Structure 1
Amino acid sequence: MAETSNEKRVVILSDPAALAEAVASRFLSRIAKRSDHKRLVHVSLTGGTMGSAVLKAVAADPRAASLDWSKVHFWWSDERWVPRGDADRNEKQAREALLDHLDIPAENIHSVAASDEGLDLDAAARLYERELARFSSDHGTWPSFDVCFLGVGPDGHIASLFPDRPEIHVTDRAVLPVRESPKPPPERVSMTRPVINASRRLWMVLAGADKASALGLALAGASYGSVPAAGAKGRKRTVFFVDEAAAANVPPELIDREY
């Protein structure tokens, strides 16, 4: 399949462990390819069970230690508004799973401010927006992520953009404060849909039978206002990496057996 195709495709692995390893392997191959050209590489991470599983699989792969991470910058599509050391923070999970094990400059890790650092939620969103703008690209006042990882909730949410809420429709901001989230914790910071969709490659990783309905709706072209995952699309590639349990409603013609 052509590298420039941005049609939504589905890659199916047998179970969550195989899924994490397959995504990790593809990610390391992508980083190796990009770093050979000595270009900056921007990666947006996500939280959740599969997000952490992928990062742990990256750390366990021998190739990770041999790569040059000095040109790789890590970001988060969303963050929970909790103290810096709270186990709910996506940053904490990512550091424990991978980032603290890499030889990477501290300034390459771009985390959202925490609730115990003297800022309010709105100020934290504005600060992250300004940080993104330091690496603006041709596609907006934000970097174009070479890979943007996203989880997908059973309700179809991505990042902290939840169904039938105003945040999913915002196009004039890069980062938003989110209050009264339907999923705890109630306060969060989230990138907006234009930032996510400026990514070159958008990889959504999801496992479990409880994700099958959301995946089916996203692939069927549901309204992104009701199913935010349906509105996520990378500029070059949009791939749903799923296990067999989540793939129950995937049309055969959308299964990619080559990627």
Structure 2
Amino acid sequence: MSGQRLVVVHPDAQVLAQAAAARLLTRVLDLQSVHSPVHLVLTGGTVGIAMLAAVATNPVRDAVDWSGVHLWWGDERFLPDGDPDRNETQARRALLDHLTTLPAENVHPMPAADGTLTVEAAAERYAGELAAFAPEGEQAPVFDVTLLGMGPDAHVASLFPGHPALEVTGVTTVGVRSSPKPPPERVSLTVETIQASREVWIVAAGAEKAQAVADGLAGDPAAPVSAAVGTAVTLWLLDSAAAAQDVTLA
């Protein structure tokens, strides 16, 4: 069952990225006061990466015990290791390379294309990684915060409207083929895995996202973002352009 829903609107994308970064750091510090480790799911996209870059430059960054944080990804483009379009590559440049106290083993990127691995096998491999850090009887860690961007078509992670990957159940990950957005092959967490997160934060900016935001907040079943809910909190972090249609503010 989903928990509380909050909507916060910032003036523009730059302020959104900075404010979301400060919010995330504060949340991690709060979480570390009560349990360890903390499991975070990262996202890509323009605003998502800008948010990570803002974390890197925020002085509160060094107050976090990064040895007690595990980083995961909600989805990944199935491209070779180091490809500039991979979310992992962009996240490393924006933030991870600056976190000198973050153990390498705490970073859990999705498998890269190596010419032999299929996208389905990559998804299965990541499912195995998730299972290795899961509580007994579970398939994945309990994610404290899952960050998600959102496309103008209301997709989240690599779960696109009308795509078969949306309907996959019983597993934590899915290999996506024939993605409507290039590249065609991707690995994604499933809807069920996202919904098991304690908190889901949807970060979106731009007028082209306004209809998708409205559809998601209205619970339109055709909008994948409407299914992206946390068990405790679902937090929509928007800029004013993305919130141009009527939204209920926190």
Q: Where does residue 248 of structure 1 map in the other structure?
A: 244
Q: Deviations over 1:62-111 (max 9, x none)?
A: 11123210110000010001111111100001100001111100000001
Any conservation in 2 of the 1:38–1:71 contact (CA below 8 Å)?
no
Give the aligned CA root-mean-square deviation in angstroms. 1.4
Measured against aligned partners, the alpha-carbon deviations of 1:159-182 in whole angstroms (never above 9, x if no partner) come to 000001111111111111100100
Question: The residue matched to 1:30 in structure 2 has which SS?
Answer: helix
Contact 1:8/1:219 (<8 A) preserved: no
Give, in whole Å, the separation in 2 of the partners of 1:38 and 1:213: 38
Helix, strand or coil at the partner of 1:23: helix
Following TM superposition, where does structure 1 have runs of at least 4 consecutive aligned residues deviating by more than 6 angstroms? none
CA contact (8 A) 1:139 1:198 kept: no
**Counterpart in the other structure of 1:79:** 76
CA distance in 1, matches of 2:136, 2:224: 24
Aligned equivalent of 2:107 = 109
- Secondary structure of the structure 2 residue equivalent to 1:8: strand
CA drift at 1:30: 1.0
Q: Among the aligned pairs, what percent are the same residue?
A: 49
Give unmatched runs, 5+ long, in structure 2.
Answer: none
How many corresponding residue pairs? Answer: 248
What's the CA shift string for 1:128-161, capped at 9, x where partnerless?
0000011224784111111100001000000000
Match of 1:166 among 137, 143, 164: 164
Residue number among 197, 200, 215 corresponding to 2:198 in the alignment? 200
Equivalent residue letter for 1:203: W
* Structure 1 unmatched runs, 5+: none
Match of 1:242, SS state, is strand
Question: Residue 31 of structure 1 aligns to which amino acid in structure 2?
Answer: V
Asked if 1:177 corresponds to 2:175, the answer is: yes
TM-score of the superposed pair, with normalisation by structure 2:
0.96
Q: Post-superposition shift, 1:238?
A: 0.3
Matched, 1:211 2:209: yes
Q: TM-score scaled by structure 1?
A: 0.92
1:246 is matched by which residue type in structure 2? A
Distance 1:216 1:31 in 2: 29
CA distance in 2, matches of 1:238, 1:249: 19
